[in-house]
A and B are shown apart, each in its own frame.
Chain A
């Protein structure tokens, strides 16, 4: 986890917000989009640049459920557990995936950093319940079996991908999109 970060991207983000403290949340959102989580070193870096105490930055980062301080997997699976999805049996999907990926409520990311599995309170797509997202793509009317199929296809595509583009950067959104085609 202790990677030394190249701060050029962070500097770009900070500059795009004019280095203003008031944009702390927006800055952290952009950082999370870039790194899929908020790395400690980067939080320290922006606290210094924005002249905010690190305790304040950490306070804001932990206040919002959407910010993550833990590294996330390449593929982020979110099972909606809002009321509509819950009554349409979202939990069995979650349990099946957890069993398959060897994850739990406390351990949400696989050791190979490929998958992160979490629940969300409501995706606002109740008509499609039970809903699950893979990175930014929505998968409607899921069942445990369909979820397993999805998992298998991601795994297959990912191994092909990594063989083909072993050295290219892994733009998550694109990879995620590909898998859904």
Chain B
């Protein structure tokens, strides 16, 4: 770790362990532009927007410069301005510029920097042939006409998710980002996690939009449209409306959804509670028989798809529990079937998710009954924020409202599902026979919380030591699998979430780096602290479901078998 003093635009700026000059510049309060730099990814140096001028007048990219004591650089000179503008003009010249109809309109970094740098004219014609869009995936749309070749998607897919679906193909003026053999995304092993879309600075990779279909359902008088909100949504959507990351806005969300026109508003947290009940039973059963251990969680559809396609031998270890979204949707559809005579409308279940892979999960054949999916439409946190804006609601000023009965109550254990470690903690909470506040506090500090890549904990249940591992980011999961397979480590319960940070870091959320994810997780944990019901089996809704609707049907409605693909 190097330490020293740098001079940035004649300001003395101390540095201490910063990896590159770019971070030191940003620390000095200068917002140096970049397209291809993310602190969480490797440095690539493709976009050249972060160029600085050294004391001898030569120009270098600050992302790939190591800070040195006494170094003098300038971030804003005539030469730099000219360079940056030229680079941007060239990028724009080979870019489809239909901004007003672009998915990323208003959120596009290219648009933002063109405005900031004052690009008012592009002198060069776009002579490239139009490249066909890839709309084959249920979650992700690729439009290479808008790609600026920053490589962010390539690196996130490879380095963070360990998938390597996308890469640069050909070279020079023919360079493009695409899957091998120019395959459609649906023909690859893509897990639909959407992290490529989350980091894409332009509209080259976006999330498939289902807003119009949801509006159609809402405005259709023959349909009874109900909606469930995933835990992670409530602590992130506020960011779209100028609120802080981690602010729990579930009350405002309910109001917004009602005003938008949803007939009933529910909380996926109840689905999470059902998952806890089923998964805890499954775990204890397997643990007693020491059968198919470790048990891997199955809430994350991207993880499930990864296992199906790459590690089919692990399928017996995957929990047979459906995800909270699917459990809840199965219950909802069953409920509306039972009251069909009085309702006289077709029930439509919409799910608001932080996740893009949920769009894929909802369409899986396992979750179709009579050819109708249990979840009719999945929209992401960002799509919901668009719907709220389309409705003209002023989100910040909305009053709070409670979710609807009879499915309107979730426990604290269900809420924390949205953060990495939450599912494991909730399941262990259920397994604890004595739930004093002291034991719950112990659990809180046992090591499953936080943003470390791999978290391990050992808890004592009925005098048995239970070893738990929690990973997030699929690359981390792959590393853990290698360790498990080689026999170096042994666990009883393993929670895997494909996205870094868990669902709060899902690609459907407003874009945020690690610091935002920590705040979102804090938001969920404080919701847990404030909730009256801490444990899933204490949730009266759960109890009444098991006594009523789920009687004799729990297994068929709440479990699923995934198969080798």
Contact = CB atoms under 8 A, between A and B. Distances in A.
Contacts, number: 37
Given A53-B158, A53-B163, A58 B171 contact: no
Interface string A46-57: 000000111111
B170 A56 contact: no
A40 B182 CA distance: 12
Contacts of A55: 164-167, 178-180
A62 interface: yes
B164 A56 contact: yes
Nearest to A60: B167
Contacts of B178: 55
A62 B165 contact: no
Interface string A70-81: 000000000000
Contacts of B169: 58-59, 62
A53 B165 contact: yes
A58 B164 contact: no
> Is the contact region of chain A dominated by helix, strand, or loop, or is it mixed?
helix
B181 A63 contact: no
B271 to A, nearest CB: 34
Interface in A117-161: none
Nearest to A64: B171
A58 B170 CA distance: 9
Interface in A55-112: 55-59, 62-63
B546 interface: no
Given A53-B158, A53-B163, A40 B168 contact: no
By secondary structure, the B interface counts as: mixed
Interface size band for A: 10 to 19
Interface string B170-206: 1100000011110000000000000000000000000
A57 B168 CA distance: 10
Contacts of A52: 164
Given A53-B158, A55-B179, A55-B180, A62 B164 contact: no
Contact of A62 (B163, B170, B179): B170
A52 B158 CA distance: 10
A56 B167 CA distance: 6
A40, A52, A55 — which one has the most chain B CB atoms within 10 A of its CB? A55
Contacts of A56: 158, 164, 167
A99 to B, nearest CB: 27
B181 A53 contact: no
B171 A63 contact: yes
Interface string B546-558: 0000000000000
Contacts of A54: 164, 180-181
Interface string B144-166: 00000000000000100001111
A52 B162 CA distance: 10
Contacts of B168: 59, 63
Nearest to B178: A55
Given A40-B181, A58-B180, A58-B181, A53 B167 contact: yes
B170 A57 contact: no
A49 to B, nearest CB: 15
Interface string A23-59: 0000000000000000010010000000011111111
A63 B172 CA distance: 9
Interface of B: 158, 163-171, 178-181
Interface of A: 40, 43, 52-59, 62-63
Top 3 closest pairs, chain A to chain B, by CB: A53-B164, A55-B167, A58-B180
